Structure 1
Amino acid sequence: MEINQKKSSSTLGNTLRLLNFFNMNEPEFTLSELAEKLGVGHSTIHRLTMTLMQEGFLARDLVTKKFRLGSSILAVEKTILSYYDICQISHPVLEKLVQETGEAAHVSILKGHKVVYLQKIDSPNYAHLLSHEGKENPIHATNTGLVILAYRCQSEIEEVIAEGLSPYTSHTIKHPQQFKERLTKIRKEGYSYSKDELHLGFSSIAAPVKSSSGKVTYAVSIAGPSSRITPYRVQELSKAVMDAADELAIRNYGNKRAMKI
């Protein structure tokens, strides 16, 4: 009985680890690559992938033979995101923000040292933004991550710095002191503006959603082409984003306490 329980636990652990290998930077893997990453033999990886395919959590390209996440993941992701109280009330706030600015709007939260987009409303002005609900991005190169981190304790800030401020473009802040100064500026101004820091050609503005005690769990942001979100429009656009964040704070913190990742 105990042996079967250990085997079941090991299988579950391997399954969850396998699913976590897939991300936006590495969306596909061969069977051999998955076996190597998981550190298991061919029979084990074959059994795991076949089970996940049968349940819709993995799909396999018929030409390349590579595995990718299946449609069942999307259903689970949507269900999880819908449990956040803020997602029940943020849609009209984001819709209004999109109408006012003409840019895509997001609500985000931190998950470890990553930013997760909980909700997104697309812009009527098409822009190929690499964001979607459930997508994770690095804190230090993402405005929503910066405005949440700016209100966290010093030890958490130091942890992010210690993990490395990897450059995504030539505009990404890479030096710890400059990074700390950026967070100080955010606390002073109440918003963050970035240009080409995560993706060249795209800019964003974000503001914190503050509780009555000043705690920040969520952030609101707009993002779009740098040709539209220009330095000349920052004052106008940042006010719209901060107003949206304030409205969301009023709506959210009148409800029961929101879930955390």
Structure 2
Amino acid sequence: MKLRSPEGERGGHVPPIGTRAVLTVVYDRNDWRVMPEPEAYALDSAGNALRIVDLLRTRRSLTVTQVSQELGVGKSTAHRLLSTLVAEGFALRDPVRRRYHPGRALMETGLAALAPFTGDRRHAQPLGQLAEHTGGSAKVLVLDGPFARVIQIADSDPDRRVGGSLGQLLHAHTTAGGKMLLSGEDPATLRSRLGGQLTASTERTITDWDAFLMELARIRERGWASNAGEASNGVYGLAVPVQTESGQMVAALCVAMPTSNFPAEQELDLLRHMFAAAYALSQSDAIKES
């Protein structure tokens, strides 16, 4: 640590304590202030941001308090670092539970730990075929806290993608895939996961708990889920489970298309194709071993 006086009367060296930054002590006889050198401050901030990215990769969700404790910084500094990551797309803030999750940019760079089958390129074939058959987008979703995350996607027309993009977090209770996955949880677990509140994405989003529990009961009974403009206006979605050989649901296979293009009279035929594609996905070694 360098000691510097504005009047040039004193100087010396004091070993730094508890910091990797180079500190300059600027003082006069009545005022002592410890200030980091600008270059060291920038490097330390970048290092802390990378440490948060690594924490998000391994823990999947964080609070400001947790980041503050892990980095040994004040809560205001932790909040500033997290806000920067949110602005750059590396983190996403859940306003209900006040937790931070891996953002789209982090997922797309491959730094986050996704479901075990995301790297299996054999999944591209059934997804692509399903997208071509429906004329929309086919996706694989997994639960990530109160969200459903898109971990695989195929489009009939990449320039006209419908619904979420790769790595995106969607409110689980608003999407067909998210509801499919949530249907396997008990009410207490659901309230804990969703923070006790069902936020509205559109005017069609189910926000009443009793109505939502009834919707999940219907999904369990029939074995598939639908979403008619609950996540995005003008978008219709269907979802079926992707299961292990033991029957454990590990993901949801979804299709999304503009509501105006959805052939209601062909819904059962579409579901037949979706269940076949979900079975194909479930036959990968990664799914069998999970």
The normalised TM-score by structure 2 is 0.63
For 1:101, give the aligned amino acid: T
Corresponding position: 1:116 with 2:153: no
Corresponding position: 1:77 with 2:133: no
Q: Residue 146 of structure 2 contacts residue 194 of structure 2 at CA under 8 Å; is this kept in 1? A: no
Worse-matched range after superposition: 242-251 or 82-91: 82-91
CA distance in 2, matches of 1:82, 1:91: 19
Task: Select the residue among 183, 191, 196 that pairs with 1:158.
Answer: 191
Q: Which residue of 2 aligns with 1:193?
A: 226
For 1:105, give the aligned amino acid: A
For 1:102, give the aligned amino acid: G
Q: Residue 193 of structure 1 contacts residue 234 of structure 1 at CA under 8 Å; is this kept in 2? A: no
Shift of 1:223: 0.4
Residues 212/74 of structure 1: CA separation in 2 closer, same or farther (3 Å cut)? same
CA distance in 2, matches of 1:200, 1:243: 28
Shift of 1:194: 1.4
**More contact order relative to length (CA 8 Å, sep ≥ 6):** 1
Q: What is the CA deviation profile of residues 101-133 of structure 1, one whole-angstrom value per residue up to 9, with x for unaligned ones?
A: 222100111111111100111123853534111
Matched positions, count: 219
CA distance in 1, matches of 2:272, 2:185: 23
Q: What is the CA deviation profile of residues 193-217 of structure 1, one whole-angstrom value per residue up to 9, with x for unaligned ones?
A: 1111111111110111111222212
Shift of 1:76: 6.2
* Structure whose residues are more often strand by fraction: 2
Q: Residue 128 of structure 2 contacts residue 156 of structure 2 at CA under 8 Å; is this kept in 1? A: no
CA distance in 1, matches of 2:184, 2:225: 13
For 2:151, give the aligned amino acid: L
CA distance in 2, matches of 1:137, 1:75: 15
CA distance in 2, matches of 1:74, 1:162: 25
Q: Which residue of 2 aligns with 1:27?
A: none
Q: Which residue of 1 aligns with 2:19?
A: 4
| 3-state SS of paired residue (2:203) | coil
CA distance in 1, matches of 2:48, 2:194: 33
Structure 1: unaligned runs, 5 residues or longer: 21-37, 59-66
Q: Which residue of 2 aligns with 1:169?
A: 202
Q: Which residue of 2 aligns with 1:140?
A: 173
| 3-state SS of paired residue (2:206) | coil
Identity across aligned pairs (percent)?
A: 20
Residues 100/74 of structure 1: CA separation in 2 closer, same or farther (3 Å cut)? same
Runs of 4+ in 1 over 4 A off after TM superposition: 5-11, 73-76, 81-84, 252-255
Q: Residue 175 of structure 2 contacts residue 231 of structure 2 at CA under 8 Å; is this kept in 1? A: yes
Shift of 1:5: 7.2
Q: What is the CA deviation profile of residues 233-256 of structure 1, one whole-angstrom value per residue up to 9, with x for unaligned ones?
A: 321222222221122112255653
Q: Residue 253 of structure 2 contacts residue 274 of structure 2 at CA under 8 Å; is this kept in 1? A: yes
Shift of 1:74: 4.2
Corresponding position: 1:226 with 2:259: yes
Q: Which residue of 2 aligns with 1:245?
A: 278
Residues 82/162 of structure 1: CA separation in 2 closer, same or farther (3 Å cut)? closer
Instruction: Supply the RMSD in Å over aligned alpha carbons.
Output: 3.8
CA distance in 2, matches of 1:128, 1:10: 34
Shift of 1:164: 0.9
Q: Residue 169 of structure 1 contacts residue 200 of structure 1 at CA under 8 Å; is this kept in 2? A: yes
CA distance in 1, matches of 2:50, 2:116: 31
Task: Select the residue among 181, 191, 202 that pairs with 2:214.
Answer: 181
For 1:141, give the aligned amino acid: T
Q: Residue 151 of structure 1 contacts residue 215 of structure 1 at CA under 8 Å; is this kept in 2? A: no
Q: Which residue of 2 aligns with 1:107?
A: 140
| 3-state SS of paired residue (2:157) | coil
Structure 2: unaligned runs, 5 residues or longer: 1-15, 22-40, 57-74, 91-103
CA distance in 1, matches of 2:190, 2:114: 28
Q: Which residue of 1 aligns with 2:29?
A: none
| 3-state SS of paired residue (1:244) | helix
| 3-state SS of paired residue (1:233) | helix
Residues 75/136 of structure 1: CA separation in 2 closer, same or farther (3 Å cut)? closer
CA distance in 1, matches of 2:49, 2:113: 25
The normalised TM-score by structure 1 is 0.70
Worse-matched range after superposition: 176-185 or 124-133: 124-133
